[in-house]
Amino acid sequence: MNWHWAVTVMLILLGGFEFLLNLIVLLVVFLYVALLYGVVRLRRREAEVERPYRAWGHPNMTWLGITGWFLMSIFMVVSAPQSAVSAAAMIAVSVPVYYGLTRYRA
């Protein structure tokens, strides 16, 4: 059963379309920061591994991207605090659920 539409409708009813849009933006910004940090961590941890391409300006440009996305998230938190609290709650709930599901999937 496709339950995504039910969650979307519930979130729109809770706070309106603008609330849902702000929530999605905050979650996407969180994912971008996590992905960029993962690049920095991977390249630092496995520095000796041969790469198929060179990342221009790494790590400075990667840290610049992390800083930019972090500043955008601060702006979003200030401009839409209700969406920020909801996004933080969804992230806080989803992380343990993810680790619980991946532990039992093997």
pLDDT (tens digit, 9 = 90+) per residue, 39-87?
889 888 988 888 777 778 888 998 999 999 989 889 988 988 888 888 8
SS3 content of the chain, % helix, strand, coil (to 5): 80, 0, 20
Q: Which run of H or E residues covers position 87? A: helix 81-105
Percent of the chain with pLDDT over 70: 97
**Which pTM value belongs to this model?**
0.68
Residue 68: CB atoms within 10 A of its CB come to: 14
